[in-house]
Structure 1
Amino acid sequence: MKTIITCIFAIIITTTIIGQNDCSTFYPFKEGTKTEITTYDKKNKVAAKVTYVVSSVSNNNLKSVAAMQSTIKGADGNEISQTTYNVTCSNDGIEIDFNSMFSPQLAMQFKDMETDVSGTNIILPNNLTVGQTLPEATMNARINMSGITMNMDVKMTNRKVVAQESITTPAGTFDCYVLEYTSELKMGMSKKGSAKQWIAKGVGMVKQEDYNKRGKVTSSSLLTSFTK
């Protein structure tokens, strides 16, 4: 259970990193773009590193679709997970399909079970202003084995733009918009909390902090390398 929860939240965090160069203000969407995010535990020790590569970009009518490949490695350098998913961009911003959040690695854990994944996309407009409210996003996975149904639900609610700040990371100094949202994951047990995310124009996510329901930092993520 702990491994599943960790993978889900790692994927959610990292899939908001890449967007589109021409039709997205905030996220570069260029083939070959490579981003490295380092995640830290509550004691500020390295927990994992996630590398994203835009493997291909295709155009369809007024939209572009990027095939994203992400690789998650543990603090020891061993690979934990690798997955590919699509991000769609239009002139209004980007949408990340929540159906793609159910990674092949999780699918392998449930390989003998019938799985049905549905949800609503994460939407990030091109134009952000402090005080702006953003749409919520959800994912539901129904997993059936021998007539027993397991439900895995992920919710991102109360999404809003709360500030503009300058953030310095090993990859540089960036002027960012700050987003906040509440999160909940249910799969037999419930994990509730909140998060704050810093995003920069032309780069994407620069920093993220995750908090428990008491407001204490449980993990954080930082942009440590960016090339395009």
Structure 2
Amino acid sequence: MKKLIITMVSLVTVLTIGYAQTCDQFINSGNGKKFVYANLDAKGNNQGSVSYSSVKKDASTLTYHNEVADKNGKTIGTGDFDMTCSGTAIKIDMKSFIPASSSKQFSNMQFEGDGKYLTYPLNLKVGDKLEDGSAVISVMNNGSKFSEMQINMTKRTVENSETVKTDAGTFDCFKITYDSYFKAKIMGIGIPINMKVIEWFAPKLGRFVKSETYRKEKLAGSMVLQSVN
């Protein structure tokens, strides 16, 4: 379970390099697109994939449907979440940060969040300290609460601007780091997982192109954008 938890899907903030991202640009960059990511272990071996397909919900909101697949291509979990542009920031539903392992473990159940969002200013710059994010998410089984997840993201910092090359192309990005805490409780019992995360976000796409997760200062896994269709 821990091996899969480290591949927590992470979304990061909109980058500005020489211009300010607008809500129209945010909506147009994601509407109708499918983003496919490779899920890799510490040695770079393929562990599966995560795909995100988006549709425009309204003038300021994109709804994403994600599918988590194992290395054999079998779907092991799905989910839905919204990303909203307020005019000054992008707000991401905290349910989007549920780990791949939990999508598999609770594949036939429903996730109910407490309405919390992670906020990313549109006018990012190197050195910015971003707001923390936290949420408590209930796992429901036929209307009854089966489990509870806690997600915390703290010490979020825009460290640098970098160019990242993947199979999907070459992108100008902001490098963002933060501390991540995750715990899933079943019958009141849960094991906390503490991680360090580095993410690279591309304004051309309106989302991250690469993320790395570290435990005890060692690389534990990564996600890399493979294609955009």
Tell me how far 1:193 sits from its aligned partner.
1.2
Alignment of 1:58 with 2:88, yes or no, is no
Tell me how far 1:82 sits from its aligned partner.
1.5
Task: Supply the distance in 1 between the matched residues of 2:145 and 2:80 (Cα, whole angstroms).
Answer: 29
Of residues 117, 120, 123, the one that matches 1:124 is 120
CA RMSD of aligned residues (A): 3.3
Task: Supply the distance in 2 between the matched residues of 1:52 and 1:17 (Cα, whole angstroms).
Answer: 17
Aligned residue identity for 1:218: A
Tell me how far 1:109 sits from its aligned partner.
5.5
1:95-117 residue CA offsets vs partner (Å, 9 max, x unmatched): 01225656987666667xxx863
Pick closer, same or farther for the CA change 1:110–1:178 going to 2, 3 Å.
same
Matched-pair identity in %: 25
Task: Supply the distance in 1 between the matched residues of 2:7 and 2:115 (Cα, whole angstroms).
Answer: 15
Aligned residue identity for 1:140: V
Using the size of structure 2 for normalisation, the TM-score is 0.78
The answer on whether the counterparts of 1:26 and 1:200 sit within 8 Å (CA) in structure 2 is: no
1:84-136 residue CA offsets vs partner (Å, 9 max, x unmatched): 2211112212101225656987666667xxx8632631111111111100011
The answer on whether the counterparts of 1:56 and 1:67 sit within 8 Å (CA) in structure 2 is: yes
Alignment of 1:183 with 2:176, yes or no, is no
Using the size of structure 1 for normalisation, the TM-score is 0.79
Q: How many residues align?
A: 213
Q: Where do 5+ consecutive residues of structure 2 fail to align?
A: 16-20, 185-189
1:199-220 residue CA offsets vs partner (Å, 9 max, x unmatched): 11121211110000x2110001
Of residues 70, 73, 76, the one that matches 1:74 is 70
Structure with greater contact order relative to length (CA < 8 Å, sep ≥ 6):
2
Q: Where do 5+ consecutive residues of structure 1 fail to align?
A: none
Aligned residue identity for 2:47: A
Task: Supply the distance in 1 between the matched residues of 2:86 and 2:39 (Cα, whole angstroms).
Answer: 30
Pick closer, same or farther for the CA change 1:140–1:34 going to 2, 3 Å.
same
